[in-house]
């Protein structure tokens, strides 16, 4: 392979959330972290080169994205997902969670219901409750190792709870589903029927495994366009979370105006120059690197799948997308506290415990496989030994 994804890069003492905050967050100092969704793999060389060259300029004054920046963003999505996005309809924010909170404020009122399908990325719930909206949950259903939406429950919860917005996770973190066209259509139709605005978080869209195709929500039906926002970012694909850049697509002029008003209220006007530089370089010149990375991660997945044959109590929920694996640990027969203790105290690992994603996540753990294979091997070895001695 052209790029050395096996190379270990020491992230300690870089103010790294994943590696430098174990003790502050109540974990043993020696844990190996495979929790938060960033990679232990350096970004594409083209991105580093662009950042170096911009740094050498030496002036870091205020910056604004022009149409050419958003044209680069749109081109990536056209090439990768066949999506004809209009560059004029993107807005930059310093992250997708920031955008979700801002959208909630823009399209709903205090006390309104906001629905999501748990287990799901945990900041969805806090984005709703921190903004004094009512969190409404429709649980995903697990059947034969695959998660599904319970459409009847989803619609009933909408009508019963004055729901005004839906936060869709597509592809879905943590259960790894890449939603099919029929599923997205059904969700969109229900939302349209009940006047529910769809906040579609598509931050993981570039990571799909073989035979699975990501469908951009707004492309499914013309009628969906005006009632949705598509949240995108280069941060997962190119490991740029620390550069705080995301590109949010809002087709409706009215909603875009409300969104901009909310940004005005918090005084956010210009994105950081390094984030924009990195994003443009990634989307313009990082495609080939990204394809190699995806191959490496698919091999990591195969490695874990194989390794787990030796850990019979842990069952992999086969992912269709994302680099986050959802491990069914229920056969261990432990409650959440005991499972967390096994993972952290015995295996000396820092994973994301399933229960934090919602009640349905109880008995599961989330494992981030975006790291050199030797890190994964070490983590799985620790897990195997800990379970053996349990
Ligand atoms: C589904 C999902 N949305 C959003 C984020 C975070 O995005 P940002 O760092 O841009 O707020 C993550 C990170 O793990 C995620 O998994």
> Are 205 and 85 in the same domain?
yes
> Are 24 and 113 in the same domain?
no
The closest of 185, 177, 220 to 317, measured between CA atoms, is 177
pLDDT at 374: 98
> Are 266 and 291 in the same domain?
no
Is residue 390 predicted with pLDDT exceeding 90?
Answer: no
> Are 105 and 247 in the same domain?
yes
Is residue 389 predicted with pLDDT exceeding 90?
Answer: no
Q: Is the CB of 116 under 6 A from ligand 1?
A: no
| Residue 52, domain member (yes or no) | no
Q: Which atom of ligand 1 is nearest to the CA of 233?
A: 10
The closest of 112, 142, 147 to 129, measured between CA atoms, is 112
Q: Can you give the chain as a three-state secondary structure string? A: CCCCCCCCCCCCCCCCHHHHCCCCCCCCCCCEECCCCCCCCCCCHHHHHHHHHHHHHCCCCCCCCCHHHHHHHHHHHHHHHCCCCCHHHEEEECCHHHHHHHHHHHHCCCCCEEEECCCCCCHHHHHHHCCCCEEEECCCEEECCEEECCHHHHHHHHHHCCEEEEEEECCCCCCCCCCCHHHHHHHHHHHHHCCCEEEEECCCCCCECCCCCCCCHHHCCHHHHCCEEEEECCHHHHCCHHHCCEEEECCCHHHHHHHHHHHHHHCCCCCCHHHHHHHHHHHHHCHHHHHHHHHHHHHHHHHHHHHHHHCCCCEEECCCECCEEEEECHHHCCCHHHHHHHHHHHCCEECEEHHHHCHHHCCEEEEECCCCHHHHHHHHHHHHHHHHCC
Q: Is the CB of 169 under 6 A from ligand 1?
A: yes
Per residue in 8-49, pLDDT (tens digit) is: 999 999 999 999 999 999 999 999 999 999 999 999 999 999
Name the domain boundary from 231, 260, 285. 285
Q: For residues 185 and 362, what is the distance between their CA atoms, to the nearest angstrom?
A: 29
* Residue 117 near residue 125 (C-beta atoms within 8 A): no
Q: For residues 1 and 199, what is the distance between their CA atoms, to the nearest angstrom?
A: 38
State the sign of the Cα–Cα–Cα–Cα dihedral 139, 142, 148, 151: negative
Name the domain boundary from 253, 285, 317. 285
Per residue in 136-172, pLDDT (tens digit) is: 999 999 999 999 999 999 999 999 999 999 999 999 9
CATH number for the domain that contains residue 180: 3.40.640.10
> Are 274 and 256 in the same domain?
yes
Q: For residues 390 and 387, what is the distance between their CA atoms, to the nearest angstrom?
A: 5
Domain that holds residue 115: 59-285
> Are 125 and 227 in the same domain?
yes
Per residue in 291-349, pLDDT (tens digit) is: 999 999 999 999 999 999 999 899 999 999 999 999 999 999 999 999 999 999 999 99
Q: Which residues contact 381 (CB under 8 A, 6 or more apart)?
A: none
Is residue 238 predicted with pLDDT exceeding 80?
Answer: yes
| Residue 368, domain member (yes or no) | yes
Per residue in 58-76, pLDDT (tens digit) is: 999 999 999 999 999 999 9
Q: Is the CB of 118 under 6 A from ligand 1?
A: no
Name the domain boundary from 285, 316, 347. 285
> Are 35 and 168 in the same domain?
no
Is residue 231 predicted with pLDDT exceeding 80?
Answer: yes
Please choose from 203, 240, 279, 369 the residue to mutate so as to test ligand 1's pocket, defined by most ligand atoms within 8 A of CB.
203
Per residue in 339-384, pLDDT (tens digit) is: 999 999 999 999 999 999 999 999 999 999 999 999 999 999 999 9
Q: What is the mean pLDDT of the chain?
A: 97
Specify the number of domains making up the chain.
2
- Token pair, residue 160, equals 């019963």
pLDDT at 4: 97
- Ligand 1 centre to CA of 373 (Å) is 23
Is residue 1 predicted with pLDDT exceeding 90?
Answer: no
* Residue 345 near residue 28 (C-beta atoms within 8 A): yes
Torsion of CA 306, 311, 313, 317, to 10 degrees: -20
pLDDT at 44: 98
> Are 371 and 384 in the same domain?
yes
Per residue in 243-269, pLDDT (tens digit) is: 999 999 999 999 999 999 999 999 999
> Are 37 and 158 in the same domain?
no
Q: Is the CB of 176 under 6 A from ligand 1?
A: no
């Amino acid at each position: 392979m052209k790029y050395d994804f096996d190379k270990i890069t020491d992230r300690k003492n870089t103010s790294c959330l994943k590696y430098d905050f174990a003790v502050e967050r109540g974990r043993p100092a020696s844990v190996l972290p495979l929790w938060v969704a960033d990679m232990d793999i350096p970004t594409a060389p083209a991105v580093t080169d662009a950042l170096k060259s911009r740094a050498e300029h030496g002036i870091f004054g205020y910056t604004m994205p022009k149409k050419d920046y958003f044209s680069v963003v749109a081109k990536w999505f056209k090439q990768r997902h066949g999506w004809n996005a209009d560059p004029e309809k993107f807005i930059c924010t310093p992250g997708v969670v920031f955008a979700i909170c801002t959208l909630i404020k823009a399209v709903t009122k205090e006390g309104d219901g906001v629905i999501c399908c748990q287990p799901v990325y945990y900041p969805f719930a806090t984005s709703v409750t921190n903004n004094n909206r009512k969190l409404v949950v429709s649980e995903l259903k697990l059947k034969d190792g695959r998660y599904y939406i319970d459409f009847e429950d989803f619609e009933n919860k909408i009508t019963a709870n004055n729901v005004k917005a839906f936060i869709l996770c597509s592809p879905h973190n943590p259960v790894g589903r890449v939603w099919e066209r029929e599923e997205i259509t059904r969700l969109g139709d229900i939302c349209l029927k009940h006047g529910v605005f769809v906040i579609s978080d598509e931050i993981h869209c570039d990571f799909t495994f073989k035979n699975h195709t990501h469908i951009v929500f707004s492309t499914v039906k013309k009628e969906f366009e005006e009632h949705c926002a598509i949240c995108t970012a280069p941060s997962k694909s190119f490991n740029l979370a620390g550069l705080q850049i995301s590109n949010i697509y809002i087709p409706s002029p009215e909603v875009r105006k409300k969104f901009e008003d909310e940004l005005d209220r918090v005084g956010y006007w210009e994105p950081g120059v390094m984030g924009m530089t990195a994003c443009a370089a990634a989307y313009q010149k990082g495609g080939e690197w990204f394809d190699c990375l995806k191959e490496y991660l698919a091999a990591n997945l195969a490695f874990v799948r194989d390794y787990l044959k030796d850990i019979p109590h842990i069952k992999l929920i086969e992912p269709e997308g994302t680099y986050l694996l959802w491990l069914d640990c229920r056969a261990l027969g432990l409650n959440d506290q005991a499972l967390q203790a096994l993972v952290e105290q015995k295996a000396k690992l820092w994973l994301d415990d399933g229960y934090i994603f919602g009640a349905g996540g109880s008995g599961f753990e989330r494992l981030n496989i975006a790291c050199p294979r030797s890190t994964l091997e070490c983590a799985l070895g620790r897990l195997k030994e800990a379970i053996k001695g349990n």
